[in-house]
A and B are shown apart, each in its own frame.
Chain A
């Protein structure tokens, strides 16, 4: 997706990427990124929380206006309420415990 953003940007259309995978985004280096330390799949927050969804979308749009340097990656100050792990599709308690040990 970061690569697509780069292609679009090169064509003359500005892009803002909203990411939950910080290390991947840092490698691919899209033009502008707002990073949310949220679970993948919850980029804009929780079910039914329109206030939070709007806030994050707004923050992303604002970054498109204020960013001045190619490759800027801004860490959103918003926090997810509880710790989370990488989703493997096998989210049994045992699987989560195994991931946490890594």
Chain B
């Protein structure tokens, strides 16, 4: 099957819910930082935007807009200690197995097998969709995440939009 055209589908859905029209950023070019190490020397972190939070803290707002919250995730925590609150996608499978969307166990196995150097000290969950104030990503929430990644010595970030 052809890939779903989400730009139209999402605007139809959220327009009906009273959200203003959403325009994704359109970029003709992309930034680039070469990966200078082999994977077996890389510290790798995961970032997911699927409304995943630890059960000990407040859930994400499932219908969030302009929510720049980003939670640090303990890579050693059991995957059944998380909750998902996000109306943007069907997370029934992710509720049953977090690795469907946030493969923390699989990444740990790759580290144990020596295929990556290490799992970062923290993974990240946040940047729910419908971000209309995108300059804040560039000026505040994005740089704050960068500072944390650098503090953790992250060599490669796997970003998983949901």
- Chain A interface (Cβ < 8 Å from any Cβ of B): 1-25, 27-31, 35, 37, 39-48, 50, 53-54, 56-58, 60-62, 64-65, 70-71, 80, 83-89, 91, 99
Name the residue on B nearest A45 (C-beta).
B100
Q: How far is the CB of B127 from chain A (nearest CB, A)?
A: 5
* Interface contact A40-B134, CB-CB below 8 Å: no
* Given known A-B contacts A4-B47, A16-B158, A89 and B142 have beta carbons under 8 A apart: no
Residue numbers in A under 8 Å from B94 (CB-CB): 41-42
* Interface contact A7-B100, CB-CB below 8 Å: no
Residue numbers in A under 8 Å from B7 (CB-CB): 23-24, 27
- Kindly state whether residue B160 has any CB partner on chain A within 8 Å: yes
Q: Which of B116-162 contact A (CB under 8 A)?
A: 116, 127, 131, 134, 137-138, 141-143, 145-146, 149-150, 154-162
- Chain B interface (Cβ < 8 Å from any Cβ of A): 1, 3-7, 9-10, 13, 24-35, 38-39, 44, 47, 49-50, 87-94, 96-97, 99-101, 103, 105-107, 109-110, 115-116, 127, 131, 134, 137-138, 141-143, 145-146, 149-150, 154-162
Residue numbers in A under 8 Å from B161 (CB-CB): 1-2, 17, 19-21, 24-25
* Interface contact A7-B138, CB-CB below 8 Å: yes
In the complex, A13→B145 CA distance in Å? 11
Name the residue on B nearest A18 (C-beta).
B160
A-B contacts, 14 of them at CB < 8 A, read A1-B161, A10-B31, A13-B33, A15-B158, A18-B160, A31-B31, A42-B100, A46-B93, A57-B107, A57-B158, A58-B115, A64-B35, A65-B35, A86-B9
* Interface contact A30-B159, CB-CB below 8 Å: yes
* Interface contact A13-B1, CB-CB below 8 Å: no
Name the residue on A nearest B139 (C-beta).
A7
Residue numbers in A under 8 Å from B97 (CB-CB): 47-48
* Interface contact A64-B29, CB-CB below 8 Å: no
* Interface contact B127-A1, CB-CB below 8 Å: yes
* Interface contact A6-B27, CB-CB below 8 Å: yes
